[in-house]
Copies of this chain bind each other. A is one copy, B any other.
Amino acid sequence: MKVAVIGGGAAGMSAASRIKALRPNWEVMVFEKSSFVSHAPCGIPFYIGGAVDEFEELCAYDVDYFRRERGIDVHTNSKVISVDDGSVTVEENGKESVYEWDRLLFATGSRAQRLNVDGENLDGVLYVDDIESAQRVKIDAIEAENVVIVGSGYIGVEMANAISRLGKKVTVIEVRERPLPEYDAEIAAIIKSEMEKFVDLRLSERVAAFDGQDCVERVITNKSEYRCDLAIVAVGVLPNTAIAEGFVDLGRSGAIKTNSRMETSRENVYAAGDCAESVNVVTGREDWIPLAAPANKMGYVAGVNMAGLELHYPGSLKSQLTGFKGLEIGKAGLSENEALREGYEVVSAFITSRTSARYLPGGLIHLKVVADRSGKLLGVQAAGNDVAMRIYAASALLYNGADVKDLFFTDFPYYPPISRVWDPLVVAARNLFRKLGIP
């Protein structure tokens, strides 16, 4: 059997590795348009901020490892230019080749959303589009004095964190009224106040154009203008589906429609990772969740099924963790706004709590828990200290369809230096008890 995988990122390499582990005699080809595989785009801000020196460190394993140790036929600098039933046409080393397949995986990832404004093509206006663009951003950031970051989603916030660490003057421009707009206002207020200590944060402001001679010199918005010698645009991502369109069905979200075996609408054709639609475990509905951990698991599941065995991907919670300076920030499931948009009747609790016993030094956590009127948990968000452990726990609860009583009664362990006898999650649950009429 011949397997072709388009894209050598997390999902692609995870699937390819799984297939070779289960079917050592099958031929597994991976076509990757860059010169790196198994790259870790989540590490880019740490490379740019200087915590990681060498770009190559971001790649989990090099190409040789996959070829030698896992027997995968990895083609780098190989761009798939068309997909047909049973074959792909690939541009590599300046020429086109056709490869046949019995099973095909789309693992083409996501791409940066464009702003579509004047001056976008000036030098010094950069998108963090792929792993290789990171090198360009780092070189330019070291030279720059004034850096404007457009967008304050995860990538924008992490870029702002990294570049302000380099001692640059950073301006962040966000079109919505708060940073990390996927969070509710209470949590966003904490994030805003931390960001404002280090960067010039401009909210509810829309970029109208970039201006300059050859290189960008100014970012012009609907309210003002900002001098800069580097502008980084991070206004969201889109699924990379160009090559798949017309060959397999896309879903509501615009990503490739899949079932729980990661099968597309066409037999023997699979999709996994940022290019694939999956299910939001909380809502039970199709959702597009372009994140690294789900991409790896989708790849794993695709690999198992492509190898002729059976495993079902249950979907994801959109669990996320990030940070800005001293603040850990995390979310699993839905915000209150997202829940309302999905049509839930919502109750929520927002609390601020210490993270250690009263008599020991410790930090603060700001935590919001969202549930529906029946008590079913819909989401948890937090900012402050020791956020990861609460979002980990929340992820486990949400994944299992837990309700507010489960949140209250889950037996979280207590150790005075690092937790509370009434954990902040439990305090929030108790708070929701009152709103839900639980005694």
* Residues of A in contact with B (beta carbons under 8 Å apart): 10, 22, 40, 42-43, 46-47, 51-52, 57-58, 60, 281, 291-294, 296-297, 304, 307, 309-311, 313-314, 316-323, 328, 330-332, 357-360, 386, 388-397, 399-400, 402, 406, 408-419, 421-423, 426, 438-439
Q: A393-B396, A421-B40 are in contact. Are A297 and B409 (CB under 8 A)?
A: yes
Bound complex: CA of A328 vs CA of B386, how far in Å? 14
Bound complex: CA of A412 vs CA of B294, how far in Å? 9
Contact B316 A411 (CB under 8 A): yes
Contact B43 A320 (CB under 8 A): no
Pick from B40, B291, B296, B418: contact of A321, CB under 8 Å: B418
Residues of B within 8 A of A320 (CB): 413, 415
Residues of B within 8 A of A311 (CB): 438-439
Shortest 4 CB-CB distances between A and B: which pairs? A396-B396, A389-B389, A321-B415, A400-B400
14 CB < 8 A contacts A-B:
A42-B357, A46-B359, A46-B360, A58-B359, A291-B414, A320-B413, A321-B418, A321-B419, A323-B415, A323-B418, A330-B413, A393-B395, A396-B397, A399-B409
Bound complex: CA of A334 vs CA of B118, how far in Å? 62
Interface-centre pick from A322, A399, A426 (highest chain B CB count, 10 A): A399
Bound complex: CA of A279 vs CA of B417, how far in Å? 27
Given A293-B411, A321-B415, A388-B418, 12 more pairs with CB closer than 8 A: A22-B439, A42-B421, A43-B360, A52-B360, A57-B358, A293-B423, A297-B426, A311-B439, A332-B413, A389-B389, A397-B400, A400-B402
Q: A359-B46, A359-B52, A389-B389 are in contact. Are A318 and B418 (CB under 8 A)?
A: no
Q: Which partner residue on chain B sits nearest A291 by CB separation?
A: B414
Bound complex: CA of A422 vs CA of B296, how far in Å? 8
Nearest CB of B to A362, in Å: 11
Nearest CB of B to A388, in Å: 5
Nearest CB of B to A174, in Å: 21
Bound complex: CA of A294 vs CA of B79, how far in Å? 58
Contact B321 A360 (CB under 8 A): no
Q: Which partner residue on chain B sits nearest A402 by CB separation?
A: B400
Q: A400-B406, A438-B311 are in contact. Are A359 and B413 (CB under 8 A)?
A: no
Contact A60 B392 (CB under 8 A): no
Q: A304-B439, A396-B397 are in contact. Are A414 and B359 (CB under 8 A)?
A: no
Nearest CB of B to A434, in Å: 10
Contact B412 A293 (CB under 8 A): yes
Nearest CB of B to A236, in Å: 19
Residues of B within 8 A of A294 (CB): 411
Nearest CB of B to A187, in Å: 15
Residues of B within 8 A of A281 (CB): 411
Nearest CB of B to A157, in Å: 11
Bound complex: CA of A361 vs CA of B244, how far in Å? 39
Nearest CB of B to A383, in Å: 13
Q: Which partner residue on chain B sits nearest A45 by CB separation?
A: B416
Pick from B43, B399, B413: contact of A395, CB under 8 Å: B413
Residues of B within 8 A of A400 (CB): 396-397, 400, 402, 406
Bound complex: CA of A294 vs CA of B51, how far in Å? 42
Nearest CB of B to A293, in Å: 5
